[in-house]
């Protein structure tokens, strides 16, 4: 068995481990490594070392609450909430008492943030109401995960108690979605301008995506200084129009989590992956999204009763991998 790694890859890993970032060609070189090669394990080991060093063994849990279920007319091809998929036909919103109870559960388990997710056609006014409601009920930082917003709307989110926003240029943006890349990037700039922390993930990664488009989104996150930016794979819910393309495995995702960790260098406060699993926790990831309520990956209206992993399960995965979910967040 050959355990020696190529000198060229060794040089890239050494450079990455200095936290200064790597360049696009180097990232593409890492993306093309054989999954079971010693180089891939050295890559994951390097990313693992970087995160444990920089984040001091902290495991983050940003608790996703999907507050509404609706047939979304934006029809992103990878989303179970898309109107044309036909899974959800009625507009419903989880009640305020339920949302507050979820938030209190998250707070009691030391969640580091609440990610308040809505469909793309949900009322901003209701997002603001929910922000004010949760701000008065729990002390966990609030992150909004909604549509593109203007400067005025960004300021309203801040006033309502949100301290950050999850927002990504998705893989296949403009092809698998009706949204323009420029508009998505404009919203990132809005978040920076108004002082909301920008949270990102390279997503939803799937077998048909070229390495170049995946890597370009990693560099977008570094360029705009994302608070975190790891990798999430696409989940093909039953009946998904993307089923024909298949899904990447957790191990393939972990390798990309590691590449994005080297790309991000010293910029991030955490490094995410989704859905929660062990192997990426030794490849540079330290942030999970436990999930309740609606989810674009689930055919169940409450993912707590579907494929969503709860916060106790996430905490267990993290402690089993020697990460501490109870120490203070590095993100806020």
Q: What are the residues binding ligand SF4 (CB under 6 A)?
A: 72, 74-76, 79, 81-82, 119-120, 177, 296
Query: Closest approach of Cβ 178 to ligand SF4, in Å?
Result: 8
Residues 6+ apart with CB under 8 A from 316: none
Q: What is the DSSP letter of 270?
A: B
Beta-strand pair 68-69/92-93 = antiparallel
Shortest Å, Cβ 125 to ligand SF4: 18
Least distance between ligand SF4 and beta carbon 170 (Å)? 8
Tokens of 258: 């590691």
With respect to ligand SF4, which residue has the nearer C-beta, 112 or 176? Answer: 176
CB atoms within 10 A of CB 36: 9
Nearest to ligand SF4 of 46, 145 (CB atom): 145
DSSP secondary structure letter of residue 58: B
Nearer to ligand SF4, 24 or 183 (CB): 183
Q: What is the DSSP letter of 267?
A: -
Rounded least distance, CB 120 to ligand SF4, Å: 3
CA distance 293 to 121: 17
Shortest CB 74 distance to ligand SF4, Å: 4
Bridge partners (DSSP) listed for residue 274: 232
Residue nearest to ligand SF4 (CB): 120
Nearer to ligand SF4, 76 or 272 (CB): 76
Assess whether the previous peptide bond of 275 is cis (omega < 30° from 0).
Answer: yes
What is the three-class DSSP state of 136? helix
**CB-neighbour burial class of residue 62 (10 A; exposed 0-12, middle 13-18, buried 19+):** buried
Smaller CB separation from ligand SF4, 234 or 277: 234
Q: Which is nearer to ligand SF4, 73 or 328 (CB)?
A: 73
Shortest Cβ 118–ligand SF4 spacing (Å):
8
């Amino acid at each position: 068995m050959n355990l020696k790694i190529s000198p060229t890859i060794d040089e890239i890993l050494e450079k990455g481990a200095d936290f200064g970032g790597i360049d696009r060609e180097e990232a593409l070189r890492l993306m093309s490594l054989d999954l079971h090669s010693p180089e891939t394990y050295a890559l994951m080991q390097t990313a693992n070392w970087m995160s444990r060093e920089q984040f001091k063994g902290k495991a983050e849990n940003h608790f996703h609450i999907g507050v509404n279920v609706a047939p979304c007319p934006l029809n992103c091809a990878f989303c179970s909430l898309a109107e044309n998929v036909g899974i959800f036909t009625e507009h419903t919103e989880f009640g305020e008492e339920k949302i507050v109870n979820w938030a209190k559960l998250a707070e009691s388990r030391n969640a580091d943030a609440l990610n308040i997710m809505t469909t793309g056609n949900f009322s901003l006014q209701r997002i603001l109401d929910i922000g004010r409601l949760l701000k008065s009920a729990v002390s966990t930082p609030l992150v909004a995960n909604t549509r593109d917003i203007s400067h005025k709307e960004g300021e309203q989110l801040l006033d309502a108690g949100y301290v950050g926003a999850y927002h990504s240029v998705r893989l296949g943006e403009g092809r698998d979605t009706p949204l323009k890349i420029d508009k998505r990037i404009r919203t990132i700039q809005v978040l920076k301008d108004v002082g909301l922390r920008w949270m990102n993930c390279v997503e939803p990664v799937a077998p048909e995506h070229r390495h170049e488009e995946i890597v370009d989104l990693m560099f977008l996150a570094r360029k705009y200084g994302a608070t975190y930016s790891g990798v999430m794979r696409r989940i093909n819910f039953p009946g998904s129009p993307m089923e024909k393309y298949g899904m990447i495995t957790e191990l393939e995702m972990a390798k990309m989590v590691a590449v994005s960790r080297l790309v991000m260098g010293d910029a991030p406060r955490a490094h995410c992956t989704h859905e929660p699993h062990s192997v990426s926790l030794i490849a540079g990831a330290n942030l999970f999204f436990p999930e309740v309520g609606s989810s674009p990956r689930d055919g169940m209206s409450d993912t707590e009763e579907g494929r969503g992993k709860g916060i106790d399960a996430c905490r267990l995965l993290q402690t089993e991998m020697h990460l501490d979910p109870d120490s203070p967040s590095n993100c806020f």
